[in-house]
Amino acid sequence: MRGIDFILKRTAFALITVFVAVTINFVLFRALPGDAITNLSKVPGATPALRAELTKEFGLDKSKWAQYWVYLRKLTTGNLGVSYSTQEPVTTELWRAVGNTVPMVLLGTLFSIILGVITGVLAAWKRRTSLDYGSVGVALTFYSLPTHWLGLMLLLLTAGYLPRGGREDEFLFDPSFMAHWLDVGKHMLLPSLTLGLVLYGQYTLVTRSAMLETLGEDFILTARAKGLPDRTIVRRHAFRNAMLPVITLVALSVGYIVAGSILIETVFSWPGVGLLVSRSVERRDWPVLQGAFLLLTISVVFFNYVADLLYYEFDPRITT
């Protein structure tokens, strides 16, 4: 019963969070100065008729309450509206961008998790050695670097070896299956590497901290007293017990994968969610912004929810 109660509470909390986010998304973007009509009607030869047509077409001639009601009503059927600037369905725009973003960000996130956990474990295991100082120092340095600057530096360093931007070389007409995927991989390498390098520091620090705490526990002392080798202690006893905070961080990171990265996608001309959001802000494209932030909200809430459930499963303290 206690378990069901926990799940129900968490589910209700997640649903309320999403609803509140939906409302905030609606209000937030309309609080920005400027609007899409002013932008779109700035064309030579623009007439009041064009402005009136656009206002009516986007439903902006209605009151804010009426617009909110229409927005909620459409949401119940999964309709996120139509982009002001491209006039494509927002779902079409979002899915296309998500499809581009997820592989690149996922690769970068996996890279950061693996590198961060390895360096974190090593730093804790070899505490107060040059390996500890070195790995933490390098991780912190990358974590502190401006993302776009690191991206530009990597572009400079790899000039002549890796593509400068985009998701693929569209001028490779009729490439073979292998040639195509090799090309896609080459294009993905730099943006994913940039993301991975910027993110891995947080995993290093969290893992190191959790490992140090675990390595100071009595059961580790017992294991040492039993004469177990260091590697076994670290791998079988310390590492597994130190993974709880890392699981939380991973769940949060996975939740943000669909958000992409505005800076990385801009530097590498990657047509993902980050770039879509950035352009939509410039154009005051409210439906796209609402859709993108709703997607992000649902993703983050969902993966937090999953993390809660995992905690319930793995951390006996919650159920006692």
Partner 1 sequence: MHRTVRSTAVCAALILVAVGCSKSTPTADHSGSGVGSIVEGGVLRIGSSSNIDSLNPFKAFQQDAYNVFQYTYPYLVGWDTTNLTLVGDWATDWTWNADNTSVTFNVMTNGKWSDGQPLTAADAAYTLNLLIKYPGPTGLEGGYARHIVSAEAPDDGTLTIGYEAPVNEDWALSQFQQIPILPQHVWSKEEGDAGKGLRTFTNDAPIVSGGPFTLTKYSKDEFVQMDANPGYYGPKPHIEGWGLKFYTNADAMVSALQNGEIDDVESVPAAALANLKANPNLVVSEAPGIYFDDFIVNSNKPLHAELLDPKVREAFDSAIDRQSMVDTVLLGHGAPASTIVSPSTGHWHNSDIAPTPYDITHANDLLDTAGYPKGSDGIRTADGKPMTYEILTPSNVDGVDREFEIIQASFQQIGVKVTQKSLDPSAMFDLMAGANYDSYDNFDLALWDWYPLPDPDFILSVLTCQQYGFWSDTGYCNKEYDTLYNKQGLIVNPTERETVVWQMQQMIHDDRPYIIMMNRNVLEAHTSKWDGFVMSPIGSFTAYSKQTLLQVHQVG
> Per CB under 8 A, does 163 bind partner 1?
yes
The reply to whether 57 sits near partner 1 by the rule CB under 8 A is yes
What CA–CA distance (Å, rounded) separates 161 from 177? Answer: 21
Q: Is 67 in the site for partner 1 (CB under 8 A)?
A: no
Instruction: By CB under 8 A, name the one of 2, 164, 236, 240 that touches partner 1.
Output: 164
- Residue 241 binds to partner 1 (criterion: CB under 8 A): no
Q: Which stretch binds partner 1 (CB under 8 A): 21-29, 32-40, 177-185, 298-306?
A: 32-40
Q: Which amino acid is at 137?
A: G
Beta-carbon count within 10 A of 296 CB: 20
The residue among 70 and 155 lying less far from partner 1, judged by its C-beta, is: 155
Question: For partner 1, which residue of 7, 60, 145, 155 counts as binding (CB under 8 A)?
Answer: 155
CA 264, CA 278: separation in Å to the nearest integer? Answer: 12
For residue 122, state whether it binds partner 1 (rule: CB under 8 A). no
**45: alpha, beta or left, given left = phi > 0 and alpha = psi -120 to 50?**
left
* 60: contact with partner 1 by CB under 8 A: no
User: What's the rounded Cα separation, in Å, for the pair 265 and 271?
Assistant: 7
Provide, rounded to whole angstroms, the least separation between the CB of residue 160 and partner 1: 6
Assign residue 251 a region (left: φ > 0; alpha: ψ between -120 and 50; beta: otherwise). Answer: alpha
Note whether 63 binds partner 1 by CB under 8 A.
Answer: no
Considering the complex, state which of residue 169 and residue 213 has its C-beta at the smaller distance from partner 1.
169
Q: Can you tell me the distance from the alpha carbon of 113 to that of 129, in angstroms, rounded to the nearest whole number?
A: 23
Residue type, 81: G
- One of 45, 78, 227, 316 touching partner 1 (CB under 8 A): 45
238 binds partner 1 (CB under 8 A): no
Rounded CA separation 112/203 (Å): 7
Is the sign of the CA dihedral 48, 53, 56, 58 positive or negative?
A: negative
Q: How far apart are CA 222 and CA 220, in angstroms?
A: 5
Question: ∠ CA(264), CA(268), CA(269), 5° rounding?
Answer: 110
Is residue 61 a contact residue for partner 1 (CB under 8 A)? no
Q: How far is the CB of 78 from partner 1 (least distance, A)?
A: 20
Stretch touching partner 1 by CB under 8 A, among 52-60, 72-80, 209-217, 304-312: 52-60
Q: Quick check: 179 binds partner 1 (CB under 8 A)?
A: no
284 belongs to the binding site for partner 1 (CB under 8 A):
yes
Stretch that binds partner 1, among 9-17, 39-47, 206-214, 288-296 (CB under 8 A): 39-47
* C-beta of 57 vs 313, nearer to partner 1: 57
Please enumerate, as own/partner, the contacts of 96-100 that have beta carbons within 8 Å and a separation of 24 or more: 96/271, 97/260, 97/271, 97/272, 97/273, 97/275, 97/276, 97/292, 98/258, 98/272, 98/273, 98/295, 100/167, 100/270, 100/271, 100/272, 100/273
* CB of residue 51 to partner 1, shortest distance in Å: 8
Query: Using CB under 8 A, which of the segments 5-13, 84-92, 252-260, 304-312 binds partner 1?
Result: 84-92
Give yes or no for residue 35 binding partner 1 (CB under 8 A).
yes
What residues make contact with partner 1 under the rule CB under 8 A?
Answer: 32-35, 38-47, 49-54, 57, 85-88, 93, 96, 152, 155-156, 159-160, 163-167, 169-171, 173, 265-269, 271, 275, 281-284
